[in-house]
Amino acid sequence: MSELQKELNNRIFKCIKRETGLDLSNPKVSSNLSLDDHALIQEYGFKCALKVIRRLAKPKFTKWIGEEYSKIENDAEEVGKRMIRFGSKVGDPVDVLNQVALLSDIIENLVEYVDGEEILADHSAVVRLLLISYIGELQTRISINSQQPLFFTIGLAKLALGKENSWSTSMLALTIEEQFIKKKATELGIELKDDEKYYSILKKLSDYMDENNIRQSRELLLADSHRKIRNRVLHENWNPNDDEMDDIIAHVLKIVQFFSSEDFQ
């Protein structure tokens, strides 16, 4: 995030705070919003964004657009290279080149927006919002294309193994959990053997927390059960359904959040 983007966000958050009393820059507030809070933000958020963008000086706005364009151009070039490498191995090279050309067309359109004197000479907030929305759409397209190898692998699991998307996603989440636990134990100075078993690492983490008077979360206590779930998914042909996949992902997220708290810094 550029400095100007940070400044924009701060101004918008301050405006929302003035209008609603909600301090969205505070994580404790932004992560515990009620339905009424969301309704207020929806009502005043757009008005505040419009107000901030309208008041932003033209040189700053132009600078921000230029920074965003440069970043997008670099990202698109990297994605294009990856798509050509990946596509030449698994797909029709012509299809891959067509997709890269699509990115190139979008970039060229953006250049016309940025360079067009008529566009930037008009200071209306509507034109600025349209330009910002266009950049957001471009960033989304680049992000989706950058994930092509991941999507292909998930599709391959279904084609080759008959596994649903929930199986691939659950496997990835459970693997992330195991690798994260090992990484965190090492960062905390816990000595691990090269072939240390996962249940043993969990036991050492539990002992570390007891020794340092850190309360163990429910998610940590469930981590050993998830080790057994991973073994069933990988070795016993068990396929989690969508609800079970959601539970697995939510659990892994809470584990990461728990070990990212101040107690472990």
Cα(251)–Cα(255) distance, rounded to whole angstroms?
6
For Cα atoms 156, 157, 161, give the angle at the middle one, nearest 5 degrees.
Answer: 115
* 49, 63: one domain: no
- Together in a domain, 48 and 19: yes
Residue with tokens 């994260």: 180
Asked if residue 189 and residue 115 are part of one domain, the reply reads: no
Three-class SS state of 84: helix
Q: Which of 55, 76, 91 corresponds to the end of one domain?
A: 55
In a domain, 126, yes or no: yes
What is the spatial distance between Cα 202 and Cα 170, in angstroms, rounded to a whole number? 20
63 and 51 both lie in a single domain: no
Total count of domains within the chain: 3
pTM over the 0.75 mark: no
The pLDDT tens digits along the chain (265 residues) read 567 677 778 888 888 888 888 888 887 787 777 888 888 887 787 778 777 877 777 777 777 777 777 777 777 777 777 666 666 655 555 555 555 555 555 555 555 555 554 544 555 555 666 666 666 666 677 777 777 777 778 888 887 778 888 888 888 888 888 888 889 889 888 888 888 888 888 888 888 888 888 887 787 777 877 778 888 887 887 888 888 888 888 888 888 888 877 766 6
Asked whether 199 and 224 are in contact (CB, 8 A), the reply is yes
Name the residue range of residue 63's domain.
57-146
Which residues neighbour 148 within 8 Å (Cβ) at sequence distance 6 or greater? 82, 83, 86
Distance of alpha carbon 101 from alpha carbon 233, whole angstroms: 40
Q: Is 256 exposed, middle or buried (0-12, 13-18, 19+ CB in 10 A)?
A: middle
Residue 154 forms part of a structural domain = no
